[in-house]
Structure 1
Amino acid sequence: MKTKTTAKVLGAALLTMTLAGTATVYAEEEYTIGIEQFAEHGSLDNCREGFLEGLKEEGIEEGKNLTVEYKNAAADMGTCGQISDGFAADKVDLMVGIATPSAQSLYNAAMDAGIPVIYTAVTDPLAAELADDEGNPVGEITGTSDKLPVKQQLEMIRQMLPEAETIGIMYTTSEANSEAAVKEYEELAGEYDFKIETAGIATTADIPLAAQSLLEKVDCMTNLTDNTVVSSLPTILEMANEKKIPVFGSEIEQVKLGCLAAEGLDYIELGKQTGKMAAQVLKGEKKASELPFETIEEASLYVNTAAAEKLEIEIPEEMTETAAEVFEEITEA
């Protein structure tokens, strides 16, 4: 971390700028961080946006006292490793992993380099071996979990589809967080008189065939926060719509794209929460190893009435009235 040369103007500790009548307090130091995002889709983009906003709220802002090196791995593990090694070689002050594969890759690269890692959108840090059984970091790494509200999702699906029997889930077999989420669905499904049918994939190339097979066996599908699957959501939705099979999302962006509904998280808020944790580490207030991972406790209901109309499904009025947001059109990807 390099000390700002302009800091002497306003004293040893803080640099203050006045914007629109309010004072924004910037940290004295200048920082360089490396952000690795595993794939490009709405929820992860929102995480990144929220993360930078969270840092800004703590006085660390791109273009002021923050340099950001941003790389997208395009859902490729080999690319993940190359990006992670590059950040380590650049000796950035902090590595940021958006999604589980990126978090794991960065941590592997950061251990020898002595660089702290902050992650977000990691569904199960324990399964990903980024935290111990008590929720404490396994090293200089911490962040936020986007653990799915599975119980609320199942309740919502049952309320919306009272006659449904089988829910389909597609997931990437190499993603630890996806396997953990599938297990939770399987454990809870019986409480709502559902059966779970799964289809594992390795790459996006597997999705059309897996979706075709799954759609022959289920009454509806529900998405996880599985990055490989979500990045191909338009393909899945097109195939499901042809068969009039509803697809439920796991967060707001998926509902915008045409999923019927979701009990999901606000990923911008998740990112902000992560940014505030990162600010503590950058400022030296806490080590990453001193901060247990955090989660967002509350889920919100999002529904898409345009998707419901296309599927000829009537959403109960009480659900549209209590939803955090109702979308009346489908956004093109």
Structure 2
Amino acid sequence: MGKKGHWLFIFIILLTALIMTPSSSKLFAKKVLRIGVINFITHPALDACQKGFMDQMAQEGYIDGKTVQYDISNAEGDMSVVASIAKKFVSQKKDLIFSITTPCTQAVAAATKGTGIPVIFGAMTDPVAAKVAESWERPGGNVTGCSDWMDVGAQVKVVKEIVPGVKVLGTIYNAGEVNSRVQIAELKKAAPGLGIKKIVEVNAASSADVLAAAKSLMGRVDAVWFPTDNIVTSALEALVKVCEDNKVPLFGSDVNQVKRGVIASCGIDFYELGKEAGKMAKQVLDGRNPAEMPIKKGKMGDLWVNPSAAKRMGITIPQAVMAKATKVINK
């Protein structure tokens, strides 16, 4: 063996030894991404959005505990906790943050400003009004995602189809949520054209306020509709009970609410919304700039009805509405 061959042989032996040592093997291991997931409060729609996101990420090759490590945090409606979680994710230098709801996205957008950490949101109604994006077509910063924007006019039309005599419509929402204020503004625009003469609004600043707010509407309204409000949805059972006891029809803004006792709702599938957010996250992790990624909207189309809930509130769902329902819940 010549001198050149001798040194090549030694180099190969040393390289093999280096690769085989436990400490050095980490150098050749694929990076495990760290993704922070922040949710505002526990309720089925938001949980479905989170599950859809994680399921889609798994389909894209990001396997929990193998190629990605999730840090999942839920503030349970406490804005001070939301801010703390957002700051924690930034200090830990997450590779990406998935934020669910408007309050969470606003907090994360503020915390990540100037850090370069990309943020994908789900279940946020109006990112422009919430001031986390410059426009729907070009967000312009580090935040983009999938909106749960609903056609409020279509939802109120369902109310009128089931209870044609509604003239005064009550609504409950947390005035502190931008997403809810946007939907109430849309409600006021749509109502006159559908023959609704008056909207009666009551505020519920916390889950504990929902029961009293619901009771305050009784005797003043013909029916109740509420937006995709995180506070109200988290305490929906209290609202349902009051409407049942007083035989006042209750309508929602999310199809999953029908499972919990609302008479009917048309809306989007939050699980599918989460999956779309997962697809966007994959694009960002592949190098696409979130500033240039148009914000997507969930697709309206599903109409869920609950004849049993209608009966408990003193009405019957017309056959014409039953015929076009995409899902019938009897519970």
Other-structure match for 2:305: 303
Look up the match of 2:113.
111
Task: State the Cα deviation string for residues 178-231 of structure 1 (Å, max 9, x = none).
Answer: 101000000110000112111123222322222211223111111211101110
- Counterpart in the other structure of 1:271: 274
Contact 1:51-1:271 within 8 A present in 2 as well:
yes
Residue 157 of structure 1 pairs with residue 162 of structure 2? no
Asked if 1 retains the 8 angstrom alpha-carbon contact of 2:245 and 2:313, the reply is no
* SS class of match (2:304): strand
More deviation in 156-165 or 203-212?
203-212
Find the counterpart in structure 2 of residue 202 from structure 1: 205
Q: Distance in 2 between matches of 1:213 and 1:297?
A: 34
1:231 alignment partner, one of 234, 241, 247: 234
Counterpart selection for 1:168 from 151, 167, 170: 170
Are the equivalent residues in 2 in contact too, given 1:129–1:138 (CA < 8 A)? Answer: no
1:221 corresponds to which of 211, 214, 224: 224
1:250 and 2:248 matched: no
Greater Cα shift, 214-223 or 259-268:
214-223
Give the structure 2 partner of residue 289 of structure 1: 291
Partner secondary structure for residue 67 of structure 1? strand
The code of the aligned residue for 1:252 comes to: V
User: Tell me, what secondary structure is at the counterpart of 1:115?
Assistant: coil
Could you list the per-position Cα deviations for residues 261-320 of structure 1 after superposition, in whole angstroms to 9, with x for gaps in the alignment? 001110000000011001111122x12112121002332100012101212311112222
Identify the residue that residue 182 of structure 1 maps to in structure 2. 184
TM-score relative to the length of structure 2: 0.88
| Cα distance in 2, alignment partners of residues 153 and 316 from structure 1 | 16
The residue number in structure 2 matching 1:24 is none
Percentage identity across paired residues of the two chains: 35
Residues 106-131 of structure 1: per-residue CA shift (max 9 Å, x gap): 11111143211111100111111122
Q: Is the partner of 2:37 in helix, strand or coil?
A: strand
Q: Which has the larger radius of gyration?
A: 2
* 8 Å contact kept, 1:33–1:68: yes
C-alpha deviation, 1:7, in angstroms: 11
**One-letter amino acid of the counterpart of residue 157, structure 1:** V
Q: Post-superposition shift, 1:71?
A: 0.3
1:94 aligned to 2:112? no
State the Cα deviation string for residues 130-156 of structure 1 (Å, max 9, x = none): 222454214100011101121211211
2:71 matched to 1:69?
Answer: yes
Alignment-derived partner of residue 62 in structure 2: 60
Classify the secondary structure of the residue corresponding to 1:142: strand
RMSD between aligned alpha carbons? 1.7
Cα 1:202–1:311, aligned 2, differ >3 Å: closer, same or farther? closer
Give secondary structure in 2 for the equivalent of 1:32.
strand
Q: What number of residue pairs does the alignment pair up?
A: 306
CA contact (8 A) 1:149 1:299 kept: no
Range 262-271 or range 57-66, more displaced? 57-66
- d(CA) in 1 for partners of 2:330 and 2:208? 31
SS in 1 for 2:84: helix
Residues 325 and 113 of structure 1: is their aligned pair in 2 closer, same or farther, counting only changes over 3 Å? same
Task: Structure 1: state its 5+ residue gaps.
Answer: 10-27
Give deviations 1:4-25, integer Å, cap 9, x for gaps: x69979xxxxxxxxxxxxxxxx
- Any idea what SS the aligned residue of 2:131 has? coil
Secondary structure of 1:121's match? strand
**1:235 CA drift (Å):** 0.7
Match of 2:4 in 1: none
Higher percent of residues as strand: 1
Aligned residue in 2 for 1:136: 138
After the TM superposition, list the runs of 4 or more consecutive aligned residues in structure 1 that deviate by more than 6 angstroms. 5-9
Report if the CA contact (8 A) 1:126-1:135 is conserved. no
Partner letter of residue 186 of structure 1? K
Partner-residue secondary structure (3-state), 1:136: coil
- Which amino acid letter does the alignment assign opposite residue 207 of structure 1? V
Report SS of the residue matched to 1:301.
strand
Q: Within the alignment, does 1:318 sit opposite 2:320 as a pair?
A: yes
Q: Is the 8 A contact 1:117 1:142 kept in 2?
A: yes
User: What secondary structure, in the 3-state scheme, does the structure 1 residue paired with 2:38 have?
Assistant: strand
